[in-house]
Amino acid sequence: QLESRVSPPLKRGMTAAAFKSMGISDDTKERLNRLAMGVAIISADNFRKRWSRLSSPADFHVGRLVMTALSSPQITVEDYEQAAKTLMKALFIREKYSRLAYHRFPRTVAQFLRIYVSHTCLPTDVCPCPREGEDPYSIENIPDNLSYELQTKDGIVYVYENAEALSQNRPRSLPYPDLETFAIDLSHVLAMIVDGPTKTYCHRRLNFLGSKFYLHEMLNEMAELKELKGVPHRDFYNVRKVDTHIHAAACMSQKHLLNFIQTTYKTEADRVVLEKGGRKLTLREVFEHLNMDPYDLTVDSLDVHAGRQTFHRFDKFNSKYNPVGASELREIYLKTDNLIDGEYFARIIKEVSHDLEESKYQHAEPRLSIYGRSADEWDSLSKWFIQHKVHSTNMQWIIQVPRIYDIFKSKKLITNFAKMLENIFLPLFEATVNPQKHKELHVFLKYVTGFDSVDDESKHSDHMFSYKSPKPEQWTADENPPYSYYLFHMYANIMVLNNLRKERGLSTFQFRPHCGEAGSITHLVSAFLTADNISHGLNLKKSPVLQYLYYLAQVPIAMSPLSNNSLFLEYSKNPLREFLHKGLCVSLSTDDPMQFHYTKEALMEEYAIAAQLWKLSTCDVCEIARNSVLQSGLSHQEKKHFIGANYLKDGPEGNDIRRTNVAQIRMAYRHETLCNELSFLVDAVKTEAAIGTQPE
């Protein structure tokens, strides 16, 4: 009867089964078991004394790792149960928001949660790539238009069956989110991250995870390496790596941009490229006006690289996007909607994607901007994409929305925040409902896999987001809405849009905001609810509860330590290594090669420095690379090809070592460790149930 309380993956039998498909030696298996059991043996007695309710010897199996949380006066059984309940609740909340938006939620976690709630939560298949030989820009076979009507209300697009339903205000039955519920859920999690017992519990669990990995490394490092040596034809150089966070306008190296500018000047100096003050200027005139000869340009005078001057100065960093400090050159070379229809920008991006295709194993997910300044941005962007044939098999596109309502408002480009949201999202709904009317956008959207929310997080907002916050139509103030307000409204629209698109059999979008790079840790709470995965996550350092939640829910984090090193946090203080060791799902990304990197291969530079400085093993870097594929917006088919047919399964079963070069011992370790952590939460709640209190 006790056995049934023990969660499946903790059972001896399960462990053996898990090993079965791995093809690893008995010796290794034994060592791994010894490691897992070691912790229990040391202090089982001690544990039994403390947790007196458990009296049967078999119970120590359940409690074997819990004791690390209880073996100090800092935490009582009651506190542990309280913390477990709280954490479970947070996971349920994230599960709900993930499900609503067709975001991913890890199977293993869902399985544990399903112990007393049952709903299925299957990962969604995002963006199938164009099939072999298919024209990626083809406007054949576009679905028919529907007679649906659309209307924006409270900053969210509502979908109506037809004009009549609209007039009767009967929207289609899609899940529409509501600000109040979100505000309440948010405040729940906010309260939880400052709750004392929960903080202690999470802090101790995280320390335990760190120490446990250290033990794993000591015991299994050579065995992992041996496994990898046995893998034919696969090593760190030919496992797939996705640059999960990179801005298109800075995706080339500074040297590349310099050469590109010099080349255009050499070959097209007399081309009209810019309109300024009503006058059309040739490239030659632009440079004359700037009083410089492109031949003399150097990376020093180009001045796009971050340096000591940009540390803690996001404003100075932003101005580095202007080559030679001249916004004219940014306009000509790094914009999609300029006088030359973004031709130069397309060309330089295609040079970058050509290099990726050559490398074969490197992919990137560059961010293109939609500002919400006007409603025609999408048409212009998709036209640019198709006209210049920007698609590449090694690039998936993400749309970044800068949080700069206040700038548009001050320039009187928009009247309220709802208008900005409408400019961003309504065109997407229109293209989804009536794709025949928006063929180019429809095609472009096939290659867009997600949305990002970007800007300086350290900027302070005076407004405190709550259920009393004004609706977007009422947000007419000059000041910028706070981070959470942005996130909720982007999430809400993406969620409705994804549901609508799923109905139509179209691709869905992930929400992948910048989060936790700087500013308040509440940002990380908002993203815990709304984001499929995030970029940066540095501030998880500051909150043990959030860090533990991101671990439990395996929220992917695209980290960019070289970017951080130039902007917010010195390399030696970057938590990536610690996060990786504890088992958070981290990947490596470049952010802005133009500003931060020195070599031709920015992503390899990022990996090389991390490997050198943190002495990462081959297994470590390959685990990061595998995480990057998982995190990415690559299609199901591609992921199967890159990391193995069963990649959706958790643990060693889901790992094809011949493709990922990640040791099965490592996969087993990660899986069992996560199962252990989850089972403590479930067991605590169950124990409580068993002695009479019902879980809420």
Interface positions with its own copies (CB under 8 A): 221, 225, 228-237, 255, 293, 295-301, 303, 307-308, 311, 562, 565, 571-572, 596-601, 604-605, 607-609, 611-613, 615, 617-618, 661
Backbone region of residue 277 per phi and psi (left: phi > 0; alpha: psi in -120 to 50; beta: other values): left
CA distance 263 to 613: 37
To the query of whether residue 671 is one of the catalytic residues in this protein, the response is: no
Residue 404 phi/psi, 5-degree rounding, is: -130, 40
CA distance 404 to 263: 34
Residue with smaller CB distance to its own copies, 153 or 255: 255
Residue with smaller CB distance to its own copies, 119 or 573: 573
Do the bridges between strand 397-402 and strand 448-454 make them parallel or antiparallel, or are there none, so unpaired?
parallel
**Cβ 615 to its own copies, closest distance in Å?**
5
**Cβ 39 to its own copies, closest distance in Å?**
24
**Cβ 657 to its own copies, closest distance in Å?**
11
Q: How many CB atoms lie within 10 A of CB 689?
A: 12
∠ at Cα 576 (550, 32), nearest 5°? 75
The position carrying tokens 């089964």 is 17
Residue with smaller CB distance to its own copies, 236 or 384: 236
DSSP reduced 3-state for 151: strand
Nearest Cα residue to 69 out of 83, 55, 80, 61: 80
Helix 664-690, helix 12-20: angle, nearest 10 = 160
**Cβ 330 to its own copies, closest distance in Å?**
18
Do the bridges between strand 586-588 and strand 272-276 make them parallel or antiparallel, or are there none, so unpaired?
unpaired
Q: How many CB atoms lie within 10 A of CB 293?
A: 10
Nearest Cα residue to 651 out of 630, 667, 629, 664: 667
| Cβ(356)–Cβ(241) below 8 Å | no
CA distance 21 to 653: 6
The secondary structure of residue 171, as a DSSP letter, is B
**Cβ 57 to its own copies, closest distance in Å?**
40
**Cβ 108 to its own copies, closest distance in Å?**
28
* Continuous segment of H or E residues that includes residue 548: helix 544-552
Reported in sequence order, the residue ranges of 328-430 that DSSP labels E, i.e. its strands, are: 362-369, 397-402
Residue with smaller CB distance to its own copies, 56 or 301: 301
∠ at Cα 583 (526, 114), nearest 5°? 65
Candidates 305, 391, 536, 581; catalytic one: 536
Residue with smaller CB distance to its own copies, 169 or 309: 309
**Cβ 221 to its own copies, closest distance in Å?**
8
CA distance 626 to 647: 10
**Cβ 642 to its own copies, closest distance in Å?**
17
Reported in sequence order, the residue ranges of 187-304 that DSSP labels E, i.e. its strands, are: 241-247, 272-276, 279-282
Q: Computed over its alpha carbons, how large is the radius of gyration of the chain? A: 26
| Cβ(7)–Cβ(679) below 8 Å | yes
Helix 77-100, helix 483-503: angle, nearest 10 = 50
The position carrying tokens 């039998």 is 13
Q: In this structure, what token pair is assigned to residue 430?
A: 């229109």
Residue with smaller CB distance to its own copies, 379 or 601: 601
Residue with smaller CB distance to its own copies, 26 or 300: 300
Nearest Cα residue to 429 out of 414, 411, 441: 441
**Cβ 142 to its own copies, closest distance in Å?**
43
Residue with smaller CB distance to its own copies, 157 or 616: 616
| Cβ(537)–Cβ(516) below 8 Å | yes
Reported in sequence order, the residue ranges of 387-538 that DSSP labels E, i.e. its strands, are: 397-402, 448-454, 510-511, 514-515, 534-536
Q: What is the largest CA-CA distance in the chain?
A: 87
**Cβ 668 to its own copies, closest distance in Å?**
19
Q: For 281-313, give the secondary structure using H, E and C.
A: EEHHHHHHHCCCCHHHCCHHHHCCCCCHHHCCC
**Cβ 323 to its own copies, closest distance in Å?**
12
Residue with smaller CB distance to its own copies, 8 or 325: 325
Catalytic residue ranges: 536
